[in-house]
Amino acid sequence: MKIRELFDTYNQFDASLSRPYIIAEAGVNHEGSMDLAKRLIDDAKEGGANAIKFQTYRAHTIASKHSPAYWDMAKEPTSSQYELFKKYDKFWKKECEELKRYCDRSDIGFMSTPFDVDAADFLNDLMDVFKISSSDITNKPFIDYICRFNKPVILSVGASYIYEVEEAISWIEEHGNSMALLHCILSYPTMDADANLGMIIDLKKRYPGKLIGYSDHTLPRDMKTLEAAVLVGAAIIEKHFTYDKTLPGNDHYHAMDKVDLKLFNANLDRLFTLLGSFKKTSIPSEGLARLNARRSLVALRDIPIGKSIEEADITFKRPANGISPKFISEVVGKKAVADIRQDDILTWRVLCD
């Protein structure tokens, strides 16, 4: 499925769980190498992602030189946001255009989160949907600027109170853009106890007309966190993506790799096999049980021909190839037109008024 199609059909997600749209968040895990960026695209495609997303920024437009770190310093020792971003801000318009072409050839969606207006301008020609980071949820002028492109917006709502979510929604709705909201915990890594996947349910209740998803920063392990997010209704799953989780740096150790992504998709295969239909009915494999595990009315003792059936004459036993117990009030008072022996299953042909 293409990301724009997801927004065009989003009302279906109100009715039942659906297999999510998976975004592999490569961010800047290419570390400035086009070869590594293309490897990430190949790995994301192989793992079963619907799209791969990068990040496009310049250090001097995203952070002042005095911006302190907010990540695990044991994993990423750079104490300045500006210095960290400076390491990875080499990709710009030309590089994004090349990545877009490579994604098209690989049949995987291309996305990149812009962090300034210049990036938004040229990314507009490359994407059908814009992603706005949790860090920009209060950045009204930037949200307004992106909305003027008249494209759907995916907004992460990490580290926000509900009034801030409401404000951001109102700004987007003023422009008439459709939108998706991604539950997110802005903590690197996110501990399981902090994941709060129940907030997805709250967002679905509050905003039933919008796509609700999950942007994850927990450690990948067995990928059950993402599976649980789908079970509570996440229609979009976004998770950081790398080719090597052992690499140093802020976005490798809590990212998934293609092996994790394959595992997640295998988990989803089994999950949606188990979920099956969302409309209650009996299915063909239950046919034998319907016949043999349900009950019929059965003679509790010998009933001679001509006798009026009393409730004391009958009981209910398996199988269900006779008169159903639900008709007991209609059977009582009818006469036997043949001798009925104890433990015979009653049928309508041995009874008359």
CATH number of residue 168's parent domain = 3.20.20.70
Q: Same structural domain for residues 167 and 237?
A: yes
pLDDT of residue 223 exceeding 80, the answer is yes
Give the domain-ending residue among 248, 275, 302: 275
Q: Same structural domain for residues 265 and 348?
A: no
Q: Same structural domain for residues 232 and 208?
A: yes
Q: Same structural domain for residues 240 and 334?
A: no
Q: What is the CATH number of the domain that holds 331?
A: 3.90.1210.10
Q: Same structural domain for residues 113 and 233?
A: yes
Candidates 296, 298, 305, 311; CA nearest to 336 is 305
Weakest mean pLDDT among 3-7, 34-38, 155-159, 276-280: 3-7
Looking at the domain assignment, is residue 184 inside a domain? yes
pLDDT at 212: 96
**What is the CA 91 to chain-centroid distance, rounded?**
30
- Tokens 């769980």 belong to 17
Q: Write out the DSSP string of 256-299.
A: B-HHHHHHHHHHHHHHHHHH--SS----GGGHHHHHHTS-EEEE
pLDDT at 10: 64
Share the mean pLDDT of the chain. 94
Looking at the domain assignment, is residue 2 inside a domain? no
- Please give the tally of structural domains in the chain: 2
Share of residues in the chain with pLDDT > 70 (%)? 98
Separation between Cα atoms, residue 8 and residue 19, nearest integer Å: 16
Q: Is the model more confident about 284 or about 248? A: 284
Q: Same structural domain for residues 249 and 315?
A: no
- 311 is in which domain, residue-wise? 289-352
CB 170 within 8 A of CB 145: no
Looking at the domain assignment, is residue 165 inside a domain? yes
Q: Same structural domain for residues 41 and 72?
A: yes
Annotate 191-218 with b (16+ C-beta within 10 A) or e (fewer). eeeebebebbeebbeebeebbbbbbbbb
pLDDT at 13: 47
Note the pLDDT tens digit of each residue in 91-115: 999 999 999 999 999 999 999 999 9
Q: Same structural domain for residues 175 and 304?
A: no
Give the domain-ending residue among 275, 310, 342: 275
Q: Same structural domain for residues 158 and 210?
A: yes
Looking at the domain assignment, is residue 195 inside a domain? yes
DSSP assignment, residue 234? -
Give me 59's structure tokens: 């250090």
pLDDT at 135: 95
> Which helix (DSSP H) or strand (DSSP E) does residue 208 occupy?
none
- Tokens 């952070």 belong to 63
Q: Same structural domain for residues 183 and 314?
A: no
Q: How confident is the model at residue 7 (pLDDT cuts 50, 70, 90)?
A: confident
Give the domain-ending residue among 275, 310, 340: 275
Looking at the domain assignment, is residue 248 inside a domain? yes
Separation between Cα atoms, residue 99 and residue 110, nearest integer Å: 8
> Which helix (DSSP H) or strand (DSSP E) does residue 135 occupy?
none
Helices 34-47 and 258-275: crossing angle in degrees, nearest 10, is: 20
Q: Same structural domain for residues 119 and 41?
A: yes
Separation between Cα atoms, residue 136 and residue 167, nearest integer Å: 12
> Which helix (DSSP H) or strand (DSSP E) does residue 336 occupy?
strand 335-336
Q: Same structural domain for residues 101 and 191?
A: yes
Separation between Cα atoms, residue 52 and residue 142, nearest integer Å: 23
Looking at the domain assignment, is residue 61 inside a domain? yes
Looking at the domain assignment, is residue 80 inside a domain? yes
Separation between Cα atoms, residue 115 and residue 136, nearest integer Å: 8
Phi, psi angle pair for 233, to nearest 5°: 115, 10
Give me 2's structure tokens: 């293409």
pLDDT at 69: 78
Looking at the domain assignment, is residue 4 inside a domain? no
Phi, psi angle pair for 141, to nearest 5°: -60, -35
